[in-house]
């Protein structure tokens, strides 16, 4: 059996994904492996906003990606403390299955850990941002 040296855990911040991240952390600790956390932002909600407003909502996209990156950074710090493992984190956008696969290849992951299915943090954040835009416009 190949030694596990590098684990990739993809998350969408849902409860199931959180369990998968914790399991990945336990495995990283047990195998003295490094852990990468990955959040893939779905771009479809932004495309919908773009079609409605007629222009790319770059400010909204930046806020959403920055928020996800900050959340991952916090989680990475806690996992490092709790499991004494090396944790890095990355936010990207696109189709989740393609980006997870690409990232796993790029970072040389020996194991990918994901939740069975999750919720969508990104669309919820877009909805909140859209509500704020509507309030500001009116």
Which residue reads 């684990």 in tokens? Answer: 7
The pTM (predicted TM-score) of the whole model is 0.78
Residues 6+ apart with CB under 8 A from 83: 25, 26, 28, 29
> What architecture (CATH level 2) is domain 6-137?
3-Layer(aba) Sandwich (3.40)
Q: What is the pLDDT along the chain (138 residues), one digit of tens a residue?
A: 679 999 999 999 999 999 999 999 999 999 999 999 999 988 776 677 667 766 656 677 788 889 999 999 999 999 999 999 999 999 998 888 999 999 999 999 999 999 866 555 445 555 555 555 444 444
The number of beta carbons lying within 10 Å of the beta carbon of residue 136 is: 7
Domain boundaries, the chain: 6-137
C-alpha torsion sign, points 76, 63, 49, 135: positive
Residues 6+ apart with CB under 8 A from 84: 29
Picking from 38, 44, 5, 1, the residue whose alpha carbon sits closest to that of residue 21 is: 38
**Longest pairwise C-alpha distance within the chain:** 62
Q: What angle do CA 91, 80, 92 make, to 5 degrees?
A: 5
Two tokens, residue 80: 């490092």
């Amino acid at each position: 059996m190949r030694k596990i040296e590098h684990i990739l855990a993809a998350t969408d911040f849902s409860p199931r994904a959180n369990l998968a991240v914790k399991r990945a952390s336990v495995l990283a600790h047990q195998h003295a492996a490094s852990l990468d956390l990955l959040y893939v932002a779905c771009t479809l909600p932004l495309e919908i906003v773009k079609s409605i407003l007629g222009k790319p909502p770059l400010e909204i996209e930046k806020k959403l990606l920055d928020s996800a990156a900050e959340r991952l950074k916090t989680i990475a710090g806690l996992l490092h403390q709790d499991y004494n493992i090396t944790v890095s984190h990355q936010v990207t956008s696109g189709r989740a299955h393609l980006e997870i696969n690409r990232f796993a290849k790029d970072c040389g992951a020996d194991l990918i850990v994901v939740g069975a299915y999750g919720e969508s943090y990104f669309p919820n954040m877009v909805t909140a941002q859209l509500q704020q835009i509507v309030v500001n416009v009116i």
